[in-house]
Every structure is written in structure tokens, then in C-alpha cells.
Structure 1
């Protein structure tokens, strides 16, 4: 008879899930022994990088990925990026080995105690099979849970002695729907409100981008039909609307008062595919401009329930847009000047300002490119220079937790290899952010991933110094980062690495990295001038 392991791997083949990202431990080796040749195993040096790589890979391929970490200890290491995967709505099947069933009663060394509780609340479902024969069925249920909207990570705790047990039956593959459409009466009510509005405004979020090209196109058609400006939701993790479009207004600030001020004079705020709202830090004010109403479309019932204002419709963003378009009246499409100013012209004074770094990168970037950004204190300058007009071109974290973009960039690059598009990945990092998951550089090198890390080095946690000004908290310790030799760190993992200071040298190094098609790290000293945390 086949073993639990054989039935499980056959099931995963039928589901098309043949990539495992992991860091092996003793409680996982029974799962990994005689690893099948038709499966890919991507090894990372630490579990935070494991989850980040898998997240990027899953988003790039638009399909689930198996994550394998080491019992409770490894799952603990993974939790920061697991939180991000949950907020990114990425369908990951997180697995961790568990001690032998015969010893679980005494909780021996490396037991994952309360295994299903540890990953909560950052998984949709957590389970430890009651018997070995339930392992394949647990994978099928995990798959179904992960891909249903809102998609997200799930968790399985798997005792190490289950895999060699014999099974007398196969687990039949079954399908589940993954998208839910709008409730008709609520759809009509929303359409009527949009048609009756004097001056509506749109706020788009990452759900539109996750769906793909069809929702991207529907979002454009929807905005053009009602001739309304489009804002990106605060801390938006994917680009949901072309940022060169005349109706694109920018990204909303993530604070109550300033966000409301940006939407002044609009009587209806239409939020599609985003929470209401990701606020941080606290800056008081009215949630909505005087006299304004808000309606929200989200695939997440929890986001609908906790929205602080407005009426919510639980629906897939793309299905809502397609269903609403025929119900929406066209508005006069008068010629409008772009809502955003042209990109600024930077100074080339040394040390370079972040704006100059981003301008040099943009000037030398190919059209086909993926960009990730984890330099939070420089986001405004980044958005000024990089204006994405194609779907699936920009990714970042939905959580605010550092350490995601470096490994996720590796996963995105691996997805590009698998799907044959082969776009390079540019990952913009702060020197502080770089330290959180720098082990992922090793995986990038070993996997021959085409990733270019550009590290802006100001020897400080710039974003925290901005918060210190906002919160009036002087003399906070631990905000300076002297003595980091990032070039040596990168070379230690096998990457091509270089230190540059001028825009000319940066441009040359970047072009060389694009030509190299491997993993490169470019370190650029920048000025320590603080940005503006709230107004972008």
C-alpha cells in the first residue's frame, strides 16, 4: 500500500503545487527524505526569509506555495513575515514538523506545544491531523482554505512519524470557487449612490492588483466612466491603477486628519479593494470630510466589519467593477490636467539625496521591470520618480514589518524564471531594513535569481527619527547605525557588490547589474535630511 507521504505528494502534483520553500530541521527530514525529482526545493538560511521568498513566489505565480519550517522554533522565527503574508492575502501552506506522536504526551524536546495556537491570528486555519491517514486530506483542506477569498496563509503541524504510515485509500481532488460576486441589492444601492453623487472620488487598493489584468483594466474603465480622481489607499502593497493616468491623484496619507483633508470637497468616497483605512500614526481629525459619505468594496468580511465609517459590500473587487460598470452613468469627460506634478529634478550634491538616487535608477531602468521598496523614510521621493503604469510591477509589504522585501524579491525573481517572463527585480532598501533578512541574499545567489539590491545608507533609522519629531520624543536611543559594511556582507553571501557615491557611478553600476542577470548589491550613501512623514 502507498504511504502517507506518497499519497500526499501525488495529491500536491494533481493540485499543481510542486515548490517547497524551507529551512530543514530534524522534525522535517522524514517529510523531505528522498525528495521527488519533479518537485523544487528552495532553501533559505532562516525562516523569516523562507516565508518572504515563498510569499513573493506565490504572488508572482498567482498560486499557492508550500512552506516548510522547523517545529515551533522555526515557526517562531517565521512569524514576522507570516503576519505580512496574511495582510498581503498570499495563499501559503505553512507546514512545520512535530515531534513523534508516541512522545507527545510528555512534551519532549522540540515539541511544538499548542501547535495550532502559535501561528494565530496570522493564519486563516491551523490544524494538526488527528491521525496519520488524515495528512493528505488536511493538505487538501488547507489548499481550499488558502485560495478562497480573502486568500491567505494556512498552517499544518505534521508529526514526523506520520509519513511512512501506510494508507488504504487515495484522497480525491476536489475544487472550490475562489471569488465571490456582489449581492445584487447592495450592488444596485452602491451604483445609485455613485450616480447620485455630485463629486465622487475613488480609492483603490491592492485587491485589484492581486486579481490581475482583467481587474486592472476594469478599474481604469470604471474611473474613466465616472470621470473621478483615483487615490491609492494608504500603505498600498500593490499598484492598483496606472500612476501615469490623468485621473491618478497619488497615495493617501495614513493619518485620520490629513487623509480626510485630501478628500475635501468630495461628497462620496468609493473604496474598492482596500481597508478603511490603514491609519498610522495618530493625527486627529474627522474620518470623512464634512458632508461626505463612504462606500467600501472588500473581499474580506473582517475588513468590512471593522471599517470605522461607511457602508460595506463584501465582494471580489474585479467582479464588483464588472457588475457595476453597466449600472454607472457616464459623466462628462472634460479634458483635465494631470492631478500630479511632473517628477522633480534632483540635485547631484554629495552625499546624494534619495530623490537623486531614485531619479538615476529610473533613468536607467528597462521597461520590463519589477520593483520592491523597503526604504520607508524615503517613500515620497520614491513615488515621485517611479510611476508604475503596468500591473504586477510593484510589490511591498502590507504590514509595515521590516524584513519582507529582500526575501520576497528573491521569490518574485524565481517566479519570473518559472513563468518565462524573466524581468529583473530591483529591490530598494534602507540600510536598517537590509539587516532584517539579509540571509536571503544567499538564496538569491544560489538560485541564480536576477535581483538587484540598491541600499540607501544614511547610517540611521530615518523613519524613526521622523516619528521622534512627530511624537515629540527627543533623545531616543538606538536610532543610529554606524559601522555597517554592507558591501562585505553581500560579498560574504556570494553577491556582486559595490559602493558608489555619484549618480554617474550609480547608473553604471545599475546597468552592469542589469546585464549581469545574477544577484547584485549596490550601496549608496545618502543625506540624513528628514522627510515629511505625513504629507506626501
Structure 2
């Protein structure tokens, strides 16, 4: 539920409740005040007062979940309500898109035209609102640098585009340093100041002016600096692109290519996995990622292209990746590639049973470093080593997947990896799931280290 809340996923959660006649007696499996406990991570939470009110409550919950900013809703329904008569609910249409005040957009356009070095920050809202193309058109017209917001659950910009600069870190001083060269920064569908490691310092350097466009009034209210414009993105971006002048300012330098890897005959590095995936995956591949220890390697070496092609968690709660890949594959029928860590997989490994039972077209690439590498890296950063409970080596994930009915293989040597990947990636939409367990070195996670500099 927290994941859905942070990622703005419109999920309708219908919870069972004991029979109404039993509720005064605090029955077994009954809930006291059920509408209270999912808050504040739902947009709507209710137990209807009467059985006859359930259909209208369901319809209201659905409309709220689908309105911007979208998110989960919760409805508690006593079990005997389903047997009671009720009236049908008339179908309705709610048009949820809205555009900012024209004067606010005109002021932003003037600031961008006057800027020497503008930058755009694309957040998960860009992809959620299907505005990736509009962001690219605005960036090209402005010749603006484009960054991805910290810990974004989606990719809002083509990472092969020459204007793409990289990923902002979730640390105050590092984020301010990255954005210091720009005089006007426009955050699009991004909370921007999503921090994970505390440092002292202002959110932005002196001389950096921030504008923020998002559909959530609450987010606009809590941002510490800048001018927020509450709007859905596509109409605002189209208007803004029409308002700004075609710029002849020099384009920013392209993001440097990753350095070539040194050859190793003994160990499979996460970087090697990402390089081989970059060579093999079509640009329109749907990629689900939950490998916190190796996310930096993925971002550096496996660029994402195309709207709706990258999904990860924006909350940090582990266990999102395996079931998310199943849902995405079943929803669209496309083959999904899921890169997941061994620690993350253990939070929801039973999703492999669901994938096998429904023949979900998912290729799972499980990077096994024998522990919670990101947690150990955080421990090193704050001076706690070793961190208790982070060693989970020796798990045979290939055998575990097989016990759930999911075909699986295991690879430990670099020479064997290309062919193993080719076999796993060759499967089509009708072939069901497969898991490839890839042994990578323990304790090599660079997580947090770039943020400490």
C-alpha cells in the first residue's frame, strides 16, 4: 500500500470485514475502525454505513483513485453486505486533466527565455502522465540539460538522448552541487528533494531559481523553495513549449560514456551484466528493477528508452520487483525483464509461483551477492561494520524457483554468462517465466559511496 501511495498507483483495496451483527462483540477476524488504519497512505478510506451504500462507495473510490494525483483507495465491506439488495450506480465520466493559470506559465516561459543555462528535472510523474514526448520537445527547444529526479520509480526521459545528463542523488548537498551550474531549473512531476542520506546545507545553491510543475497540491505545499505550478503535465508542457523561444544557446555537453570494463575470468561483475543487457535488449523492452546494491551500475550502463518501459519502487520498501513484473506482464502480454537482487527477492519470492501458474512472460535476472549489500554499504557510510543480519549467502534460488514451477538456471563464471543470457532472453510472450541466478561478488556495492563525496 505504501509503495502504491508513493508511486501514485491507482489500486482499489477491498478488505473483508466480519458480519455486521458480530461487530459489537469484537469478533475474531474483525477490525475496529477499519477506515483508520490504512491512513495516511490512501486517498480514500471508508466502511459504508449500510450494505445498500456499497455500490456507490465502490464507484466513488474508483473515481478518486483515478483522479490526479492518482493513488490507492481502501474500502472495508462486511461479509454479509454482499448478500443484501442494492441499487445499481449510474455510470459517470470525470474529466481529471487541468492546466495551470496562463499567467503562471507565461512567467515561467519568460524565465526560461532569459536563462543562460536552464535544466529540466524529469520525475516519475512525467511517465505516469504520458508526457515523455512533451518533455523532450521542450528540452530540445530550450537546449536544456535534463536530469532524472532522485530515486525515481520511472524514467521520464530517453537516457540515450544527447541532452540527458544523469540521475540526481538523494542527498541535499550533492543534489545542490549537481544543479548549481544552472540558473533556472524546472522540476516536472518530481518531488525533487527526495533525500535518503542526511547532510547539512541549503536545498539549492545561490543563483539557482526553481520552478516546479506537478498535479499534487500537497507536494507543491511542502517543497522548501521555488515556485510551484499545480497542473497536469501534458497540457502545461504543450503550452510552455509554444510560449518559449527557440533557443540558439550552446547545448550542454553529452553525458560521458561508461568506462570499459577490465576483463575478469573469475567473477561476474554487475557492470558486466548491465553491459551485456545493453547489447541484447531491444529499446522497447519493459524493464523492472529492484536491485538497490547495483542500481548505480544499471543507471550508468543500461540506458532506458521509451515511455512506460522502466518500473521500480519509489518508496524503498523491498519486495516490489517480483510481483510487479508479474502484474506488468499479465496486463499487457509483453515479455518483461526483471533485474532483482537476492535480498529483495526474498521479500516476495512466492510471486514466482504466481508467475508460473499464470505463465506470465517474465525473464528474472537475479543478482546474487549473498546478502543485503545496500544495507551493508549504508553501514560502512555511518561507521557500523559489520551490520548484523545482512549475510544471506548459500540460497539456491534456481532450485527454489523450480520448486514453485518456474524454470531456472544458475551461472557463476563470466564466460558462461553471454549464452545463459541469450537463452533467458530468447523466450517469447507465450513461453512463461524463467529465472537466471547470477552470482556476483559480495560486499562490492557502491551504494551510498558516490553520495558521500
TM over 0.5: yes
Partner of 1:217: 133
1:196 Cα deviation from its structure 2 partner? 2.1
1:164 Cα deviation from its structure 2 partner? 1.5
Structure 1 residue matching 2:29: 3-state secondary structure: coil
Q: Aligned equivalents of 2:260 and 2:364: distance in 1?
A: 24
Structure 2 residue matching 1:415: 3-state secondary structure: helix
Partner of 2:391: 480
- The alpha-carbon distance between structure 1 residues 348 and 391, as it changes in their structure 2 partners (threshold 3 A), is farther
Which of the numbers 235, 241, 261 marks the counterpart of 2:157?
A: 241
Q: Deviations over 1:132-191 (max 9, x none)?
A: 111110111001100110000100001100111123x32101111222211222222222
Q: Aligned equivalents of 1:242 and 1:498: distance in 2?
A: 32
Which of the numbers 396, 405, 423 marks the counterpart of 2:312?
A: 396
CA contact (8 A) 1:347 1:353 kept: no
Q: Aligned equivalents of 1:199 and 1:302: distance in 2?
A: 29
CA contact (8 A) 2:284 2:305 kept: no
Q: Deviations over 1:102-148 (max 9, x none)?
A: 11111100002221111111110001111111111011100110011
CA contact (8 A) 1:487 1:497 kept: yes
- The alpha-carbon distance between structure 1 residues 235 and 336, as it changes in their structure 2 partners (threshold 3 A), is closer
Partner of 2:193: 277
Structure 2 residue matching 1:161: 3-state secondary structure: helix
1:515 Cα deviation from its structure 2 partner? 3.3
CA contact (8 A) 1:258 1:534 kept: no
Q: Aligned equivalents of 2:401 and 2:277: distance in 1?
A: 20
Q: Deviations over 1:26-73 (max 9, x none)?
A: xxxxxxxxxxxxxxxxxxxxxxxxxxxxxxxxxxxxxxxxxxxxxxxx
1:337 Cα deviation from its structure 2 partner? 4.4
1:483 Cα deviation from its structure 2 partner? 2.7
- The alpha-carbon distance between structure 1 residues 512 and 374, as it changes in their structure 2 partners (threshold 3 A), is same
Structure 2 residue matching 1:162: 3-state secondary structure: helix
Which of the numbers 101, 111, 116 marks the counterpart of 1:198?
A: 116
- Does residue 466 (structure 1) correspond to residue 377 (structure 2)? The answer is yes
1:368-517 aligned within 5 A? 368-417=284-333, 422=334, 424-516=335-427, 517=431
1:482 Cα deviation from its structure 2 partner? 2.3
Partner of 1:321: 237
Partner of 1:171: 89
Q: Aligned equivalents of 2:111 and 2:253: distance in 1?
A: 27
- Which stretch shifts more, 484-493 or 499-508? 499-508
- The alpha-carbon distance between structure 1 residues 221 and 367, as it changes in their structure 2 partners (threshold 3 A), is closer
- Does residue 527 (structure 1) correspond to residue 441 (structure 2)? The answer is yes
1:342 Cα deviation from its structure 2 partner? 4.4
Structure 2 residue matching 1:358: 3-state secondary structure: helix
- Does residue 154 (structure 1) correspond to residue 73 (structure 2)? The answer is yes
TM-score (norm 2): 0.95
- The alpha-carbon distance between structure 1 residues 531 and 347, as it changes in their structure 2 partners (threshold 3 A), is farther
- Which stretch shifts more, 408-417 or 480-489? 480-489
1:532 Cα deviation from its structure 2 partner? 4.6
Q: Aligned equivalents of 2:142 and 2:36: distance in 1?
A: 47
- The alpha-carbon distance between structure 1 residues 534 and 218, as it changes in their structure 2 partners (threshold 3 A), is farther
Q: Aligned equivalents of 2:268 and 2:145: distance in 1?
A: 34
Structure 2 residue matching 1:508: 3-state secondary structure: helix
Q: Aligned equivalents of 1:492 and 1:155: distance in 2?
A: 34
- Does residue 89 (structure 1) correspond to residue 13 (structure 2)? The answer is no
Instruction: Report how many residues are paired.
Output: 447
> Where do 5+ consecutive residues of structure 1 fail to align?
1-81
Q: Aligned equivalents of 1:474 and 1:428: distance in 2?
A: 27
> Where do 5+ consecutive residues of structure 2 fail to align?
none
Q: Aligned equivalents of 1:316 and 1:534: distance in 2?
A: 36
Q: Aligned equivalents of 1:398 and 1:353: distance in 2?
A: 25
Q: Aligned equivalents of 2:43 and 2:281: distance in 1?
A: 38
Q: Aligned equivalents of 2:300 and 2:261: distance in 1?
A: 10
Partner of 1:137: 56
Q: Deviations over 1:282-329 (max 9, x none)?
A: 122331122211110111111111102111111112221011111112
1:335 Cα deviation from its structure 2 partner? 6.0
Structure 2 residue matching 1:480: 3-state secondary structure: coil
CA contact (8 A) 2:292 2:447 kept: no
Structure 1 residue matching 2:255: 3-state secondary structure: coil
Q: Deviations over 1:246-280 (max 9, x none)?
A: 10001101100011111122111111110031111
Q: Aligned equivalents of 2:426 and 2:31: distance in 1?
A: 46
Structure 1 residue matching 2:81: 3-state secondary structure: coil
CA contact (8 A) 2:48 2:76 kept: yes
Partner of 1:299: 215
CA contact (8 A) 1:254 1:534 kept: no
Q: Aligned equivalents of 2:260 and 2:235: distance in 1?
A: 38
Partner of 2:142: 226
CA contact (8 A) 1:427 1:451 kept: yes
1:333 Cα deviation from its structure 2 partner? 5.5
1:353 Cα deviation from its structure 2 partner? 1.1
1:346 Cα deviation from its structure 2 partner? 5.1
- The one of the two structures with greater contact order (alpha-carbon pairs below 8 A, sep at least 6) is 1
Q: Aligned equivalents of 2:386 and 2:153: distance in 1?
A: 32
1:502 Cα deviation from its structure 2 partner? 2.7
TM-score (norm 1): 0.81
Q: Aligned equivalents of 2:364 and 2:387: distance in 1?
A: 29
RMSD of aligned residue pairs (Cα, Å): 1.6
Partner of 1:15: none
